[in-house]
Structure 1
Amino acid sequence: MTIHAFRMRLKPGVVDEYRRRHDAIWPELSALLTESGIHDYSIFLNEETLSLFAVLKLTDDNRRDTLPDHPVMQRWWAYMAPLMEVEPDNRPKEWPLPLIFHHA
């Protein structure tokens, strides 16, 4: 199992909508994440910069790299694109966060 962390960024004025959409996450998306080996997934917000900090755990046999091709993931990205900085395919822009310290 590995821990993966990255940063994303929201557009101004959309924090409440971003939170609302995640509070009502689609069951099929939740199932897809779990089936892909992703669990214990949290997203934190820096309200001053609108940066999102995501931390998730990946099973050793995870299939995270297949998610961009999955129709459910593509629909979610299209749904979230108006709220975030995204790549041309609507994938959220991600900036990796390397692990500096971990206390178990």
Structure 2
Amino acid sequence: MRALNPVMALVAAMAIACTAPASKKTAGEKTGALPETKVERFGMVTGLKPGQVVCYKQLHAAVWPAVKQKITECNIRNYSIYLKEIDGEPYLFSYWEYVGTDFTADMKKMAADSTTQRWWKETAPTQLPLPDAAAKGETWSRMEEVFHQD
């Protein structure tokens, strides 16, 4: 396992992630006319194993349609994954927004999906979890949001 180096700590501190939900009103909404849309933002980080950058990029250049559909069905929007090399080591940063009302149920639904499970078996060998995630048997470490502007 790699220790979180100072450069990575700075990236994590500067990256946008969510710890508290935000709410928005749609354009033109009048008070009481429509319910607010609750958006919870997530920033996550993980490492990539040496030599796996090309494989990871190839997998994500052709994400299976059923996996993308399940992400949408589970109320995840605006999902992006970024790659950054720091001190010669590759790291991934993901950002996404959750717009549902039952996060736990939606994540269980995604985890129970057989196609998503097969996808994760394809991507897992390329990833190198940070120590905090590995200690919990997870791949991605959630980051703390320190700034957001709509």
* Structure 2 SS opposite 1:47: strand
Give the alignment partner of residue 56 of structure 1, picking from 83, 90, 96. 96
> Which one is further off, 14-23 or 26-35?
14-23
Matches within 5 A, 1:1-104: 1-48=39-86, 49-61=89-101, 62=103, 63-85=106-128, 93-104=139-150
Q: Which runs of 5 or more structure 2 residues have no equivalent in the other structure?
A: 1-38
TM-score (norm 2): 0.61
- Conservation of the 8 A alpha-carbon contact between 2:74 and 2:100: no
- Conservation of the 8 A alpha-carbon contact between 1:84 and 1:92: no
Q: Which runs of 5 or more structure 1 residues have no equivalent in the other structure?
A: none
1:60 CA displacement? 3.0
TM-score (norm 1): 0.86
Bigger Rg, structure 1 or 2 = 2
- Tell me the distance in 2 between the aligned counterparts of 1:85 and 1:7: 10
- Conservation of the 8 A alpha-carbon contact between 1:43 and 1:54: yes
Aligned residues: 102
Off by >6 Å, runs of 4+ in structure 1: none
CA distance 1:92–1:27, shift in 2 (3 Å): farther
Percent same amino acid at aligned positions?
27
- Tell me the distance in 2 between the aligned counterparts of 1:50 and 1:65: 29
RMSD: 2.0
